[in-house]
Amino acid sequence: MYDREMEKAARMAMDKQPKKRVLSFTYQDASYFIKRSLSNGRNRFAKQNAHTAYLTEVYKIGLVNSRIPLAPAIVLLGPDYFVMKASGRPLQRIVKEYPQDAAEAYHKAGVALAQLHSYGLHHGRPALRDIAWNPATRSITFLDWENEMKFFHIDGRVLDLFLFIHSYFREEWPENNLLDQAIEGYRSVPGWEARLSELQHFITGHGIVFGICRHLMRTGWIDVVSVSKAEAYIRGLS
């Protein structure tokens, strides 16, 4: 139901920060986020133009939530912005902020990703910073649904799995125990075998690309190093 007072509060928040793409505000003692149809000036190679990305995200959030509640709840929709309920804390911060929840959060993140895939849907870039853990409801929400660019001919769900693993290694944590928890969760949902097999075949079929990444590890470039670590981890899964 349309809430005129919420719209006023949202517009007031945007007027105070006219160039900010994502911003938070409080309305009736509850926390919300606004996402606007503005470019963030980053990842232009990987992302669509701002308005196309905005429309893509609104559509995908609606599609996903019509099947399974894994996307943010949009409570107010405008032509160039939407308001969503706050979903929790990014998964990458849980280790420090809620260490007692870390194992459960990562396991449930893996389950949630596999559930999304079981509906034939994909996220586009399920990085740890775009996956929220709500310590009150013990639930997972995927954020930032605007990514829909593909560099390889591959099932979006398979690419999701690779990018999730790659994102974990970008954190440069000394151990893989939380990633192991996530993969265990992913494997608890029927259908995971086919996606893991396709991912392993993809890596084998693009040996030159992954070989170049291994060669470039000496540069220390975190994205390249993480590709090679993800490759090694995936090859070790059975």
Per-residue pLDDT of the chain (238 residues; tens, 9 = 90+): 899 999 999 999 999 999 999 999 999 999 999 999 997 665 554 556 888 889 999 999 999 999 999 999 999 999 999 999 999 999 999 999 999 999 999 999 999 999 999 999 999 999 999 999 999 999 999 999 998 766 678 999 999 999 999 999 999 999 999 999 999 999 999 999 999 999 999 999 999 999 999 999 999 999 999 999 999 999 999 8
| pLDDT reported for residue 183 | 98
Q: What is the pLDDT of residue 221?
A: 94
Kindly report the number of other CB atoms within 10 A of residue 105's CB atom. Answer: 28
Q: In b/e form, how buried is each residue of 60-83, taking b as 16+ CB within 10 angstroms?
A: bbeebeeeeebbbebbbeeeebbb
CA-wise closest residue to 46 among 152, 165, 122, 187: 152
Question: What's the pTM value of the predicted model, to 2 decimals?
Answer: 0.93
Which residues, in sequence order, are bridge partners of residue 89? 133
Query: How many residues are recorded in the chain?
Result: 238
Kindly list the structural domains of the chain, giving each domain's residue range(s) and its CATH number in brackets, ordered by start. Answer: 4-85 (3.30.200), 89-235 (1.10.510.10)
